[in-house]
Amino acid sequence: MDTVLLKTFLEVTHARNFGKASEILCVAPSTVSARIRQLEELLGLSLFIRNHQQVSLTPAGEHMVRHARFILNAWERAYEDIALSANLNKRLVVAGTPSLWDIFLQDWLNEVHSQMPELALRAEDSTTLRVMEKLERGSIDIGFIYEQPKLANLVIEELKSIPLQLVSTQPGLDADRATSSGYIRVEWGSVFNSLHERYFPQRPLAPVRVNSMRIAMKLMLSSGGSAYLPVISTAERVNSGELFVVEDAPRLEMKAYAAYSPHGEHHDLIKQLLAML
């Protein structure tokens, strides 16, 4: 199957319009229609319901989206493995949640790249769910997450404890005030959510929710507010007087884990790289 057909299918799926998809792909609308028709003939199924203004997916089309993405990702990885093999010894794909990249993964990746320039690296940030899906499919070599994945046949290593403290741009706040007006809820995962609800069962719904420590920090420094952030990441700003610790708020401790296959071709390399953490 020509991967161009799959790329065209996904672009039409996203745009919901053959004309818009043709503009993005820089081809004529008739070319897009011909590619979709060819893909449908190969499968023996209709993938789209065609209307005048837009198209929608058939049930078969809905199923095809996931498979098309998987096939294209697998093809891209195969191509990179072959293309890079002449110049680089090995290739490693890592994925982690955005806040873990903010806290320590970026520094780790910088060190890995500096010490092993012959290693081809591909780094991604993803939600916890997406990281676990990629681990299960084998499309990444290492996943970094806050929760132990409930997947069989994976090695799980606890890497770090990450204590979070409630900080605010306003001094002298107690926990109730800090978690009401101006509170920014950082989505640290289900473990954090359980602890948060235990300590703040009556807290009003936060008007702002983010999944990145970096976004929360910039919002606070720009507009004011409070958030639960890692102690290690806020220490300098607390010392400088930009942020203030909410003293009566409990510290909530998270744990960072690495997950990888015990049978993967890069098992020994992964152990070596994790030791650098």
We report the CATH number of the domain holding residue 197 as 3.40.190.10
| Per-residue model confidence (pLDDT) at position 80 | 66
On whether both 250 and 168 belong to a single domain, the answer is yes
Domain boundary among 60, 82, 104: 82
Beta-carbon contacts of 61 under 8 Å, excluding residues fewer than 6 positions away, are 13, 46, 47, 48
pLDDT digits (tens, 9 = 90+) for 212-255: 889 999 999 999 999 999 999 999 999 999 999 999 999 999 99
On whether both 174 and 243 belong to a single domain, the answer is yes
Neighbours of 52 (CB within 10 A): 5
On whether both 139 and 266 belong to a single domain, the answer is yes
On whether both 198 and 147 belong to a single domain, the answer is no
On whether both 148 and 191 belong to a single domain, the answer is no
Task: Tell me which amino acid residue 43 is.
Answer: L
| C-alpha distances in Å from residue 41, one per residue of 1, 37, 197 | 12, 6, 53
On whether both 18 and 67 belong to a single domain, the answer is yes
| Per-residue model confidence (pLDDT) at position 221 | 93
| Per-residue model confidence (pLDDT) at position 40 | 92
Q: Which residues of the chain have pLDDT under 50?
A: 88
pTM: 0.66
On whether both 264 and 151 belong to a single domain, the answer is yes
| Per-residue model confidence (pLDDT) at position 85 | 55
Host domain of residue 115? 86-160+256-275
| Per-residue model confidence (pLDDT) at position 242 | 95
